[in-house]
Amino acid sequence: MNKAIYPGTFDPVTNGHVDLIQRASNLFEQVVVAVAESPKKKPMLDLETRVELTRIICEPMGNVTVIGFTGLLTELLPKQGANIILRGLRAVSDFEYEFQLAKMNRVLAPEVESMFLTPAEKHSFISSTLVREIASLGGDVSQFVHPLVVQELNRHLAN
């Protein structure tokens, strides 16, 4: 059985992320969306909130599980019984970093394959960073994220 892990910070989860999760759920028997704590990135939303938003949005996909994690992805893989790391590539500029990461993961976990998916073209320019920036400046991000994410961003920014 092929079980894929799609790791990321998901701060916040975007329509591009959801597009990749949906397509991965059609390709693999099981998909684990692993929401990384990522304290070095200083996420806007706390881990619990990011996990819960992603879990609710992915609920209709019966073979998708959402978890939070800290530490090395390569240590999480055997705990989850996963043999594939799924990563998204929006643009050529993403490739160099993702390629380096895939090579490092291959050294740390040689039994695991890295696979890349590109989002649908209508989502290819969306990034969590841009969504956060637009939202923090009072802009409308409703075309880039699920309505629950819009609500959470508005709630968070109002505090």
**Is 20 part of a structural domain of the chain?**
yes
**Is 37 part of a structural domain of the chain?**
yes
**Is 138 part of a structural domain of the chain?**
no
**Is 117 part of a structural domain of the chain?**
yes
Rounded to a whole number of angstroms, the CA Rg of the chain reads: 15
**Is 84 part of a structural domain of the chain?**
yes
Across the range 6-32, mean pLDDT stands at 97
**Is 143 part of a structural domain of the chain?**
no
Per the structure, how many domains does the chain have? 1
**Is 135 part of a structural domain of the chain?**
no
**Is 151 part of a structural domain of the chain?**
no
| 77-91 residue pLDDT tens | 999 999 999 999 887
* Residue ranges making up the domain that contains 49: 3-124
CB within 8 A of 52, min separation 6: which ones?
none
CATH number for the domain spanning 87: value is 3.40.50.620
Active site residues: 17, 41, 90, 128
pLDDT of residue 96: 86
CA dihedral 129, 18, 70, 111 (to 10 degrees): -120
Give percent of the chain with pLDDT exceeding 90: 86
